[in-house]
C-alpha cells in the first residue's frame, strides 16, 4: 500500500521507518504509536524532501520536545553567524529548529539549514513573503502567499506555522475586546494588517483546502499559529484567544480529513494559575492535537531573564499536557539572540521539558534524576558532569573553586553531608577538624 503522509500510513496500518525510529527512541510500542498517530494525538513531522532528518515524535505519551528559533533579520543579516547557531543547536541535541528569517537570502539559508539539520525544521512562510517578492505587504496577492508555502514545502520544511485562525470573525472579536498589547504574534499581526488594508478574508483561512493539498503532497505538518496569543498576562485567556482556539479546533479536524498532521500553537504570556486550565482547554477544543507553546511567560517584568520566566511556565505547561516547548532566550523582547543567549534558552527549555516529563510520568524520565542522585551520593564528580543537562558549566564551576578535600566542594568542605553520611554508615570516623 502507498501513502502520502505519516498520518495516512498510520490509518492504513503501515509502519514507516520514521515510526520505527520514534517508537524505539521513546520506548513506546509500535501499536500504541500507530494508533495515536491515526487519531492525530501524535505527529512525526518529516517532509519527504528532508533527507538528513532524524525523526522525532511529538504528542501523547512522548517526551516533551523543544524548539529553537533563529534566522536572518534586516538588522542582523549575517548568514555565517546564524549557521553557527544552527551548529550549536544541533550539537545540543534540540529536536527542532525554526528558521524565522525575514530578510535577504532567506531561501539560500533555509536550503542549507535543511540540508545539514538532523533536527526537524519549521518556518513561518508569511515572514518570507515580503522579502521573497520585494513588495509591500498590502500588495502581495493571495496566489503569492500560497506560492511561498509551496516553495517552503518543496525545500523540505517539516512543519509550517500558518495563522489561519485569525479570520474576519476572530478579528471582530478582537476589535470588541480591548487588549493592552493588541496582537503580538508577528505573523498574526502581518495577516491582520493585510486583511484590514485590503478588506479581505485571511487568505490562509479562505484557501485552507489548497494549503492542505500542499501539506499532503510533501507531508508537511501544519502548525496552526495563535495570532491572538496573549502578549501580556493582562490579555491571557481572553475572548480573542479563546475565539481563535475554537477556530483552530475546527481547522484541525479539516486537516485530519485529508490526513495532514497538525499541532496547535499556544500562549504566550500567562499567569501561573491559568496555565493548567489553558492546556486542558486546548486539548479539549482541538481534539487532543499536540500543543506547542511559547513559554508561557509567567510575568512581564523580567526583561533580560525571560528564559527563566518562560522555563517556569514551560514546566507547568508540560506537566499539564503541553507536548512541545518553544525556547525563550534572555534576549526576548530586546534583540536578536546571540549564541550565548541561545544556549541559555536551550538549557532553560530542556530543564522545563524534563521537569514536565517527570510530572507526566513519561517512561524512564525519573531514571536520569535517580542516576544523578546516586552519583552525588557516591561523590562521583565525573559521573555528575556526564549526566548534567549541561556538563560544561558544572565542570567550570568545580575547576574554579577546588576544595582542600577532593571528596567535597568549597561550600561545605568536610561538613559535606554526603561525605559524612557515607563514612558514618561505613562505621568510619568523619574527621571534620583533622586530616
Does residue 81 fall inside a structural domain?
yes
> What would the mean pLDDT of 220-229 be, rounded to a whole number?
98
Does residue 27 fall inside a structural domain?
no
The CATH number covering residue 270 comes to 3.20.20.540
Answer yes or no: is 187 a known binding residue. yes
Answer yes or no: is 152 a known binding residue. no
Answer yes or no: is 163 a known binding residue. yes
Does residue 180 fall inside a structural domain?
yes
Does residue 306 fall inside a structural domain?
yes
Does residue 32 fall inside a structural domain?
no
Q: Which of 360, 388, 410 is the last residue of a domain?
A: 360
Answer yes or no: is 215 a known binding residue. no
Answer yes or no: is 374 a known binding residue. no
Are residues 274 and 408 located together in one domain of the fold?
no
Contact 292, 265 (CB under 8 A): yes
pLDDT at 407: 83
pTM: 0.95
Are residues 233 and 247 located together in one domain of the fold?
yes
Residue with the three cell numbers 503522509: 5
Q: Which of 330, 360, 390 is the last residue of a domain?
A: 360
b/e per residue, 38-73, with b = 16+ CB within 10 A?
Answer: bbbbbbbbbbebbeebbbbbbbbbbbbbbbbbbbbb
Task: Determine the structural domain holding residue 407 and report its residue range.
Answer: 366-425
Does residue 20 fall inside a structural domain?
no
Are residues 322 and 404 located together in one domain of the fold?
no
Are residues 400 and 356 located together in one domain of the fold?
no
Are residues 404 and 265 located together in one domain of the fold?
no
Are residues 383 and 307 located together in one domain of the fold?
no
Answer yes or no: is 265 a known binding residue. yes
Answer yes or no: is 314 a known binding residue. no
DSSP code at position 75: S
Contact 160, 125 (CB under 8 A): yes
**Dihedral-angle region of residue 237 (phi above 0 means left; psi in -120 to 50 means alpha; beta otherwise):** left
Contact 7, 260 (CB under 8 A): yes
Does residue 150 fall inside a structural domain?
yes
Tell me which residue of 97, 98, 80, 79 sits closest to 89, measured CA to CA: 97
Q: Is the pLDDT of residue 104 over 80?
A: no
> What would the mean pLDDT of 1-16 be, rounded to a whole number?
96
Answer yes or no: is 205 a known binding residue. no
- Residues 329-340 have pLDDT tens digits of 999 999 999 999
pLDDT at 435: 65
Contact 270, 230 (CB under 8 A): yes
Are residues 73 and 183 located together in one domain of the fold?
yes
> What would the mean pLDDT of 39-45 be, rounded to a whole number?
98
Q: Is the pLDDT of residue 434 over 80?
A: no
Does residue 212 fall inside a structural domain?
yes
Q: Which of 360, 390, 408 is the last residue of a domain?
A: 360
- Which grid coordinates are listed for 331? 534576549
Answer yes or no: is 69 a known binding residue. yes
pLDDT level of residue 132 (50, 70, 90 thresholds): confident
Amino acid at each position: 500500500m502507498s501513502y502520502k503522509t505519516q498520518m495516512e500510513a498510520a490509518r492504513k496500518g503501515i509502519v514507516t521507518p520514521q515510526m520505527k525510529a520514534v517508537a524505539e527512541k521513546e520506548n513506546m510500542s509500535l501499536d500504541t504509536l500507530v494508533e495515536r498517530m491515526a487519531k492525530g494525538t501524535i505527529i512525526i513531522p518529516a517532509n519527504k524532501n528532508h533527507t538528513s532528518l532524524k525523526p522525532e515524535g511529538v504528542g501523547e505519551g512522548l517526551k516533551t520536545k523543544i524548539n529553537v528559533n533563529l534566522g536572518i533579520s534586516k538588522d542582523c543579516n549575517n548568514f555565517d553567524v546564524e549557521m553557527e547557531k544552527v551548529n550549536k543547536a544541533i550539537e545540543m541535541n534540540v529536536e527542532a529548529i525554526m528558521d524565522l528569517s525575514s530578510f535577504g537570502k532567506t531561501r539560500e539559508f533555509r536550503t542549507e539549514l535543511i540540508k545539514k539539520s538532523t533536527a526537524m525544521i519549521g518556518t513561518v512562510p508569511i515572514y518570507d513573503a515580503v522579502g521573497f517578492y520585494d513588495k509591500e505587504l498590502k500588495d502581495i496577492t493571495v496566489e503569492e502567499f500560497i506560492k511561498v508555502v509551496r516553495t517552503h514545502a518543496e525545500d523540505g520544511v517539516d512543519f509550517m506555522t500558518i495563522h489561519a485562525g485569525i479570520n474576519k470573525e476572530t478579528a471582530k472579536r478582537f476589535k470588541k475586546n480591548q487588549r493592552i498589547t493588541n496582537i503580538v504574534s508577528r505573523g498574526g499581526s502581518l495577516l491582520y494588517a493585510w486583511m484590514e488594508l485590503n478588506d479581505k478574508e485571511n487568505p490562509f483561512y479562505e484557501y485552507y483546502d489548497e494549503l492542505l493539498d500542499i501539506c499532503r503532497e510533501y507531508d508537511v505538518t501544519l502548525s496552526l499559529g495563535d495570532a491572538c496569543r496573549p502578549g501580556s498576562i493582562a490579555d491571557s485567556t481572553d475572548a480573542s484567544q479563546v475565539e481563535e482556539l475554537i477556530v483552530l479546533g475546527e481547522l484541525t479536524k479539516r486537516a485530519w480529513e485529508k490526513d495532514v498532521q497538525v499541532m496547535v500553537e499556544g500562549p504566550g504570556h500567562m499567569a501561573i494559575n491559568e496555565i493548567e486550565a489553558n492546556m486542558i482547554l486546548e486539548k479539549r477544543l482541538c481534539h487532543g492535537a499536540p500543543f506547542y507553546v511559547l513559554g508561557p511567560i509567567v510575568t512581564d517584568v523580567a526583561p533580560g531573564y525571560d528564559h527563566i520566566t518562560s522555563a517556569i511556565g514551560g514546566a507547568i505547561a508540560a506537566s499539564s499536557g503541553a507536548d512541545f516547548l518553544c525556547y525563550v532566550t534572555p534576549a526576548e523582547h530586546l534583540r536578536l539572540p546571540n549564541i550565548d543567549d541561545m544556549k541559555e534558552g536551550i538549557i532553560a527549555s530542556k530543564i522545563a521539558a524534563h521537569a514536565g516529563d517527570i510530572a507526566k510520568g513519561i517512561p524512564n524520565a525519573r531514571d536520569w534524576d535517580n542516576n544523578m542522585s546516586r552519583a552525588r551520593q557516591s561523590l562521583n564528580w565525573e559521573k555528575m558532569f556526564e549526566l548534567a543537562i549541561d556538563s560544561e558549566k558544572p565542570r567550570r564551576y568545580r575547576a574554579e573553586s577546588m576544595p582542600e578535600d577532593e571528596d567535597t566542594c568549597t561550600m561545605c568542605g568536610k561538613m559535606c553531608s554526603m561525605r559524612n553520611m557515607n563514612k558514618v554508615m561505613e562505621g568510619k570516623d568523619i574527621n571534620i577538624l583533622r586530616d
